[in-house]
A and B are shown apart, each in its own frame.
Chain A
């Protein structure tokens, strides 16, 4: 198995770093899957009853100038478990970098070796080379089926989320009032966030939301649907706006789960958040 890639554009480096940084807020360890076209960050907690799932897909050619992979056997893929936080940290001091190279290496143990070339200021032509070896654990073929793309559950309502910044402000305040929030949406483009405790009830109304185009198979018989989820987990998703996503979509599976998508041209982040078993 071999993997070697290079980026030369600082803008891409920063963007990639913010994607990885967003993923790192969800989990301490996740599966990194490398294939010829895409890079995936996968967290599959569904094995644990009612766990959350994250599926993040990045089109590598939008970031890397060179990308070479020799996958495991004939699969064309390499899967490894890694700490996204360490990976994000290794990419965070890249201001002014002329190149970033990433490769799979074996030093004391398997690692992703990130090499950053920083030209010295003063134009002397000198370079400072920083190498970060991020430890990884290769995932054996036998476990790969745990990291398949999750199927789309049948949802009851789907809509585009309001600007994430607004959502974030509200969630940040109401998280101090309660641990759970009820998200309700309707086909008429309305969404509410409600919190109810002994001391207070609050309800926030977002209106005039767009509805994504659906294929005909979607069952639109329910006028509205709702689900109660953990506020902090929802907030983590909403804070990923740093990715610079152009669209974000919310699907509600009535009383079962929220499925959230952040979409950009070359990045797609899917987040599945199950309902809290209340009452």
Chain B
């Protein structure tokens, strides 16, 4: 794969790389018919980011291979980042830049042609990998709001840098943003910030039911920084707690940006410990909002009746161990003996024909997967099977018996690309908590050991 883009596009490209590097440690490059996809997923698989640069973004674009395995690779995010470190000066002096995947040599080559005849080239060694992509459907999210350039970015500035997670509470006429406090012991020690925004501040505010979701602020900041640089509107799609939040930016037909972030569910007990620690789900009483006059409330007010069960269980306190955030590909989690599948938030709701792939639903929702392979478990290893309710394949070991609901926060993504010769399920997902897999973490879609039902 070989493509060249004009110098005026280097800012967007560089900002995209910077954004992805803030989320994940590796960046995946994949040449597709529609363009170049640049993606990442974070270590705990709770955040996925994707930029698809259409062929119109490039002055030259050629795939040079029919074998999709030779059209993709992953490289260290840090090394990519160092290429685009000094964007201000690159913007001024780069005339054009190119990206070439030299599969046989094992190199991803970035070439920058500067003014004055100066040429720079970065030959990055890459790792082979399987494709990485998430399947999601924005249209089936219940809530959609759009924010103009800078607006959300300005709002988020009111939150100190050490805030890890943010809660978005959307009501029909306003939205509240607040910092999420994991442990009750933190009350009385941390600054609690809350911001109330009228719905009319958003160019598009489509909130038919009240919803509250909590997700990682770090990734939101990364996306907002990108939004600020390109001055395009940001679309936010979200649903019940536990279901991922999708953020999308469209770049005038030149590129598309999509981020999928897992949200906290109340009973997600998987133990990925990642940067944040295991916590209890406390509820921050935003008394100033719900009960404006009563400032001495100690207990959270009872949830509004139309709220989802999760909310009420949230108040039940202390004994749940909850983690920071569920991974998007919970599927992986079943390997984790500690995963407990608690009564799913969605028991009361009709299984939404909802976005996220990983839903426990039968994969036949075509709204789901843009991907061809049929979800039939019986299939080849190569399919992404948004799993049916008894999903996740009985994996070798500790398959947790109680499957009733898999956290639909699991976005497992992974699109298997049906390859000619079989794709060795070479790499297993790394299980962060048990730490037994040393292998690198390919997000291996074809590792259907996980996905596939008993066909193996």
Contact = CB atoms under 8 A, between A and B. Distances in A.
A and B, direct touch (CB closer than 8 Å): yes
Interface of A: 86, 89-90, 93, 105-111, 113, 115, 120, 124, 126-135, 137
B155 interface: yes
Among A115, A124, A131, residue most surrounded by chain B Cβ atoms (within 10 Å): A131
B244 to A, nearest CB: 26
Nearest to B282: A108
24 contacts: A86-B191, A90-B191, A90-B193, A93-B158, A105-B295, A105-B296, A106-B298, A108-B187, A108-B188, A108-B284, A109-B188, A113-B288, A113-B295, A115-B288, A120-B201, A126-B200, A127-B198, A128-B201, A129-B196, A130-B193, A130-B196, A131-B193, A131-B288, A132-B193
Among B155, B184, B191, B288, residue most surrounded by chain A Cβ atoms (within 10 Å): B191
B116 interface: no
Among A90, A93, A107, A120, residue most surrounded by chain B Cβ atoms (within 10 Å): A107
B403 interface: no
B187 A106 contact: no
B209 interface: no
A137 B285 CA distance: 19
Nearest to A109: B188
A106 B296 CA distance: 5
Contacts of A110: 188
B125 interface: no
Contacts of A129: 195-196
In terms of DSSP, what is the predominant structure of the interface of chain A? Answer: strand
Given A107-B285, A120-B201, A128 B196 contact: yes
B297 A126 contact: no
Contacts of B287: 107
Interface string B269-312: 00000000000000011011000000111100000000000000
Among B160, B192, B298, residue most surrounded by chain A Cβ atoms (within 10 Å): B192
A120 B295 CA distance: 26
Contacts of A126: 198, 200-201
B231 interface: no
Given A105-B296, A106-B295, A108-B285, 20 more contacts: A89-B160, A89-B191, A93-B157, A93-B158, A105-B295, A107-B285, A107-B287, A108-B187, A108-B188, A111-B192, A113-B295, A127-B198, A128-B155, A128-B197, A130-B158, A131-B196, A131-B288, A132-B158, A134-B191, A137-B188
B194 interface: yes
A110 B194 CA distance: 16
A137 B189 CA distance: 10
A228 to B, nearest CB: 37
A251 to B, nearest CB: 37
Given A113-B288, A126-B201, A107 B191 contact: no
Interface residues of B, number: 27
Contact of B192 (A89, A115, A132): A132
Contacts of A111: 192
Contacts of A115: 288
Contacts, number: 73
Interface of B: 155, 157-158, 160, 184, 187-198, 200-201, 284-285, 287-288, 295-298
A130 B177 CA distance: 9
A135 B190 contact: yes
Given A108-B298, A126-B200, A126-B201, A135 B191 contact: yes
Contact of A133 (B158, B192, B196, B296): B192
Nearest to B289: A131
Contacts of A113: 288, 295
Nearest to A89: B160
Nearest to B190: A135
B295 A135 contact: no
B161 to A, nearest CB: 10
A82 to B, nearest CB: 11
B298 A128 contact: no
Among B285, B287, B296, B297, residue most surrounded by chain A Cβ atoms (within 10 Å): B287
A90 B158 CA distance: 8
Contacts of B187: 107-109, 135
B175 to A, nearest CB: 10
A257 B163 CA distance: 41
Contacts of A106: 295-296, 298
Among A111, A132, A134, residue most surrounded by chain B Cβ atoms (within 10 Å): A132
B194 A130 contact: yes
Contacts of A109: 187-188
A124 B201 CA distance: 9
A87 to B, nearest CB: 9
B188 A131 contact: no
Nearest to B189: A135
A244 B331 CA distance: 59
A33 B157 CA distance: 29
Contacts of A131: 193-196, 288
Nearest to A124: B200
Contacts of A134: 191
Contact of B195 (A86, A90, A107, A130): A130
